[in-house]
Structure 1
Amino acid sequence: MIPRPSAGVLRDAAFVAAALLDVWVHVEPDEPKRLALALFAASALVLRRRLPMLTFVLTLPAVVFSDAIFACLAALYTLATFTRRRTLLAACGMAYTLSDMTDWTPGPSLNLWSPSGLITLGYTAATAAAPIFLGQLVQARRDLSLRLTEISQARDHERRLSAQAVLAEERAKLAREMHDVVSHQVSLIAVQAGALQVGAQDTEVKRAAATIRRMSVQTLDELRHMVNVLRDSHGRPTELTPQPSLTDLRRLIDSSGIDAELKAELPDGLPPTLQRAVYRTVQEALTNVRKHAPGATATVRLTYEGNAVHLKVSNTAPTRPALPLPGAEYGLVALRQRAALLGGTVSTGPTPDGGYELRLVLPVKKAP
């Protein structure tokens, strides 16, 4: 495919073509010296954007020795669009005016102080001023556009800073609430569970109290780490906690307080994000079993089929009524969102024996 020429190249070609047309109209073929100077001036316009001052100097002789003036006016316009030196532009305009009024052809000379001479001087000076003013207008328009772009970028940056400030304030407020309320209550749970573990006589009660205390202490550590992360809103990114993997599933199931069985047949080297998704799904499923199906047993089955990990967490029917606990079903919503980000799906539903089942399917992307 042939690349299309840029807008600058097309404008240069248009200027050169207009200059050649000016030469064809104002210079006779039987005047080889003037024709050569005029053609040289027209061809010099290809340098106008890279070397505007040199281009003006190269086109000036054509004005002195011929009537082909377009190339010099185009060079003067280009110089005015790039330079900010008003004195230089005034000098170039004067040089064009004097060159255009210089007559090297034999014949009567022009009296500058006569009415016709003054009219010619004014007309020539206006002709030189027109491309200068037009070039300065283009330069001002370009500067204004750049300034508007800078203002827009500054406003966007200010909005981002304001949003970050609001976010930092919200994070600090959330950190205070977690520290003052949630951490305090979890600490009380850990203390009460420890007292129950020491004072209880029944073995099952001691085991349950020990589990509550251990999980409360772990939750408290995670809460404290999360509070530190929330407070460090302007620092470098920090992991909330050491992220779990599939090797932590056994400990999760053993500490869940549920009679659960783990059946896993998975290959090694699964992506860490996928392992975390599986772990969090099992964690949420066991939490729901503990809340909504007291006394039920659970089965956690992990298999690898068709380049995908299949997780099924099922539980039997509860053996006693569930306690009324607060819940907003955000856990399942978060699991579905996490699975969707990894290209997977989550489905839930009751089983024929009165239990419940959660299924997760996550595709495994092979390394290229």
Structure 2
Amino acid sequence: MGDKLRWTAEVLLFGLAVLDAWLGTEPEWSLSTVAVAVAVLALPLRRRHPYVAFVLTLPMLALSYAVVAVLITLYGVARHTRDRRALAWCSTAVAIGYAVPWPDKVDLISGPSIMVDVIYALMMGAAPAFLGQLVQARRDLSLRLAEINEAREHERELIAQTVLAKERAQLAREMHDVVSHQVSLIAVHAGVLQVSPPDPETKEVAATIRRLSVGTLDELRHMVALLRASGSVATDLAPQPTLTALPTLIANSGIDTTVEGTMPTDADAATQRAIYRTVQEALTNVRKHAPGATAVVRLWHNEDELGVTVTNGPPTRPTLSLPSAQHGLIGLHERAELLNGTLTSGPTPDGGFHVRLRLPTTGSP
């Protein structure tokens, strides 16, 4: 819209200058016609070469009664120049060119009209200059306001980052002092139970608990390090899991799990992470809500879709009440939606549970 208005204004000014030149040119003055034609044709130069356009329009004041073209170029000089002295000289030249009775006009000027001509000449020289400087000041002020708003926005971001850094530091301390301590105690007690178990099954369970506790401690230490880094760009982030880590995840889950099917080797990183996190969350829920149950992880793909289905049977041991924020499946739903996929879950007829992730083969949007 701005370009359209600008071009409309250009056309209107050019038309006004042509009309003024036609009305203010004496046909019998050949030099007048040439000067006016040069002045009108110089108008398009005023944006890139304002001084050149202004000089080319000055002869029009001496050889005709047309003034619009020279006023437009004077406004262009005032709008672009930072040199107040040069602008003053240009305004003075316009005032003199309008006021001084040139030889071809001297017989048209009488004594009483000289004062009026001087007043008009001063107005002709001053008005375009002041208007151009006003537009320039308005533009500079707009740029300055934009810089101030940008600086304020940057300041708000810095304040938000500072608050976030404090919260991360506090969370890191809590994780280090409370969560890590509790997991360490679990690992220690599991190690004691593993050394002197009452039966082989208990020894195997204790070994699984100890292995998971040690892995959890490593992840907690890494998370604490990331939180203490406060989101620094130089933070050394651990690589995100892919399908190559899926066998290790299943082996360390402590659940009798069968893997069926394969995934295409060219699956993108976001798809692989989504499948990995789905299997991880599903097996975690089996441990929490269906102790002793077996699970089946089925990887599948076709021409249009790919995904994973994790199905577990009913629990074979009493279920313990464990704390849960109920955010796991919600996060999986959100991850699937971001990848233009779907996630469904629910109980099975035999008392088990299933989680199914479907993603398009085109990957993330």
User: Which of the numbers 332, 342, 345 marks the counterpart of 1:345?
Assistant: 342
Deviation string 1:262-297 (CA, Å, 9 cap, x unpaired) is 222333332232222222211211111121112222
Q: Sequence identity of aligned pairs in percent?
A: 52
Structure 1 runs (4+) greater than 4 angstroms displaced? 4-10, 106-111, 237-240
Encode CA deviations 1:169-216: one digit per residue, 9 max, x unaligned: 222222121111111111121122112222334222222111111111
- Whether 1:54 aligns to 2:52 is yes
Q: 1:266 to 1:5 in 2, by over 3 A?
A: closer
Q: Whole-Å Cα distance in 2 between the matches of residues 250 and 340 of structure 1?
A: 26
Aligned residues: 362
Question: Cα distance 1:5–1:184, how it changes in 2: closer, same or farther (>3 A)?
Answer: closer
Is 2:22 aligned against 1:24? yes
The alpha-carbon distance between structure 1 residues 132 and 266, as it changes in their structure 2 partners (threshold 3 A), is closer
Q: 2:190 is aligned with what amino acid?
A: A
Distance in 2, Cα, partners of 1:366 & 1:287: 26
RMSD: 2.4
Mapped pair 1:258 → 2:248: no
- Identify the residue that residue 84 of structure 1 maps to in structure 2: 82
User: How many angstroms does 1:251 deviate by?
Assistant: 2.7
Structure 1 Cα separation of the partners of residues 234 and 335 of structure 2: 20
Q: Is the counterpart of residue 226 in structure 1 residue 216 in structure 2?
A: no
Matched residue, 1:164: 161
Change (3 A) 1:24 1:210: same
Asked if residue 104 in structure 1 is aligned to residue 103 in structure 2, the reply is yes
- The more displaced of 245-254 and 309-318 is 245-254
Aligned pairs for 1:144-183 within 5 A: 144-183=141-180
**Quick one: distance in 1 between partners of 2:21 and 2:265?**
80
Counterpart CA distance in 1 for 2:206 and 2:344 is 34
Spell out the pairing of 1:175-324 with structure 2 (5 A cutoff): 175-236=172-233, 238=235, 240-324=237-321
Alpha-carbon separation, structure 2, partners of 1:305 and 1:239: 37
Matched, 1:64 2:62: yes
Residue identity in the other structure for 2:103:
W
Question: Aligned in 2, Cα 1:276/1:123: closer, same or farther, shift over 3 Å?
Answer: closer
- Tell me which amino acid in the other structure corresponds to 1:345: T
Residues 158-167 or 326-335, more deviating: 158-167
Counterpart CA distance in 2 for 1:226 and 1:262 is 30
Going from structure 1 to structure 2, the CA distance change for 1:360 and 1:64 (only over 3 Å counts) comes to same
Q: TM-score under structure 2 normalisation? A: 0.91
Q: Is the 8 A contact 2:293 2:314 kept in 1?
A: yes
* CA displacement at 1:151 relative to structure 2: 1.8
Shift of 1:21: 1.0
> What are structure 1's unaligned runs of at least 5 residues?
none
Q: CA 1:266–1:150 in 2, change beyond 3 Å: closer, same or farther? A: closer
Q: Provide the rounded CA distance (Å) in 2 between the counterparts of 1:216 and 1:346.
A: 29
Q: Which amino acid aligns with 1:340?
A: E
Determine helix, strand or coil for the equivalent of 2:362.
Answer: coil
Q: Is the 8 A contact 2:333 2:342 kept in 1?
A: yes
CA distance 1:340–1:107, shift in 2 (3 Å): closer
- Conserved 8 A contact 2:303-2:361: no
Q: Normalising by structure 1, report the TM-score.
A: 0.90
Contact 2:300 2:308 in 1 (8 A): yes
Cα distance, 1:152–1:181 mapped onto 2, change above 3 Å = same
Distance in 2 of aligned mates of 1:324 and 1:156: 47
Q: Which residue of 2 aligns with 1:142?
A: 139
Task: Spell out, residue by residue over 1:217-240, the C-alpha distance to the aligned partner (whole angstroms, 9 max, x if none).
Answer: 111111111111122225226565
Listed one character per residue, the Cα deviations across residues 67-93 of structure 1 (whole Å, up to 9, x for unaligned) are 112211111111111112222222222
Q: 1:238 to 1:336 in 2, by over 3 A?
A: farther
Q: For residues 295 and 327 of structure 1, what CA distance do their matches in structure 2 show?
A: 19
Unpaired runs of 5+ residues, structure 2, are none
Is the CA contact (8 Å cut-off) linking 2:339 and 2:363 kept in structure 1?
A: no
Tell me the amino acid that sits aligned with residue 276 of structure 2: Y
Conserved? CA contact 2:26–2:64, under 8 Å: no
- Check 1:254–1:95 CA distance in 2 against 1; reply closer, same or farther (3 A cut): closer
1:357 counterpart SS class: strand
Contact 1:16 1:43 in 2 (8 A): no
Q: Is the 8 A contact 1:15 1:45 kept in 2?
A: no
Looking at structure 2, the residues matched to 89 and 106 of structure 1 have their Cα atoms a distance apart, in angstroms, of: 27
Shift of 1:323: 0.8
Q: Which amino acid aligns with 2:86?
A: L
Shift in CA distance, 214/337, structure 1 to aligned 2, threshold 3 Å = same
Aligned mates of 1:329, 1:107 — CA distance in 2? 97
Residue 328 of structure 1 aligns with an amino acid whose one-letter code is A
User: In structure 1, what is the Cα distance between the partners aligned to 2:54 and 2:199?
Assistant: 104
